[in-house]
Structure 1
Amino acid sequence: MNISKLAHYSIRTTDLPASLKFYTEVIGLRNGWRPPFNFPGHWLYLDEKDGLEGDQGSVHLIGVDPVDPSGLIEAMGDRDIESLHGSGAVDHIAFFAVNLLEVRETLTRLGVPYRERTVPTLKVHQMFLEDPSGLVVELNFPFLDENEGADA
């Protein structure tokens, strides 16, 4: 098998505006180019260099149109709306991140609950939060300073 890296992950959501806001304002991804599919959605990118036509993004938000889901069903199959909360068999999605103190301030300002822990053997500080669909997102920060630890 010749897998080189993760291409992207997709979230099928019944609240596309809330998911877009979460991933752009809380996580800091950028909304960018997306092919003209026959269902609502957004492709989100890590930085300004990404997002040109032909790029694939890191996170794909797939909107469920309750009035006319036919485009989505045709492209990706049908899913029970009740199965779209939480992560199912996927436990969480993780990103490397920087500026721990700034992220704490942003999450507090936006009212986004989170949990923290430090993994001393890896020298990494982690934050765990949930997106609007109940999917757990892990942010991994380099542990550079004892004052940035989990005692927040």
Structure 2
Amino acid sequence: MHLDHVNIHAYDLTAARNFLMGLLGVKVGWRPSFGVPGDWLYLDSRAVIHTWLKTGERGLGWVDHIAFGPCGDPDKKRGESQRQGYTFTEAGLIDTNITQFFVYGPEGMKIELQCERTIDHAR
């Protein structure tokens, strides 16, 4: 069993789509004709994020964040996020070689990127 997809409801679908495409490199692909606006965003030929137009009362849903990884070299990912103007926090995951980036997007969306640091065994 594996994670199939994440469904995100957003008021501004364009901002959500552009944020996720810029941050994660997902691409817009085929989506069933649900009759409600949204996108299916693909990574490695799988629709891993489904967006849907949020029509209810404003406010965050029950999801705190969505995590993706591995995302490669943490220094490179930090630089990319800074160049793209994303707000983020960074932490080392205790007892691991993982650097976590919590990147903030439209409407309070929070994406965690897990990047593996190179371990210098010569020390």
TM-score normalised over the length of structure 2: 0.85
- Structure 2 segments unaligned to the other structure (5+ residues): none
Of all paired residues, the percent bearing the same amino acid is 32
Q: CA RMSD in A?
A: 1.8
CA distance in 2, matches of 1:98, 1:35: 32
Q: 2:94 aligned with 1:100, yes or no?
A: no
CA distance in 1, matches of 2:63, 2:101: 18
Instruction: Read off the aligned partner of 2:111 and give its amino acid letter.
Output: V
Aligned pair partner of 1:91 in 39, 64, 79:
64
1:120 Cα deviation after fit: 4.2
Q: 2:39 aligned with 1:42, yes or no?
A: yes
CA distance in 1, matches of 2:95, 2:31: 40
**Could you say which residue in structure 2 is the equivalent of 1:80?**
56
- Structure 1 segments unaligned to the other structure (5+ residues): 52-56, 65-78, 147-152
> Would you tell me which structure has more strand in proportion to its own residues?
2
TM-score normalised over the length of structure 1: 0.70
The equivalences for 1:10-89 within 5 A come to: 10-47=7-44, 50=45, 57-64=47-54, 80-83=56-59, 85=60, 88-89=61-62
Higher gyration radius (CA): 1
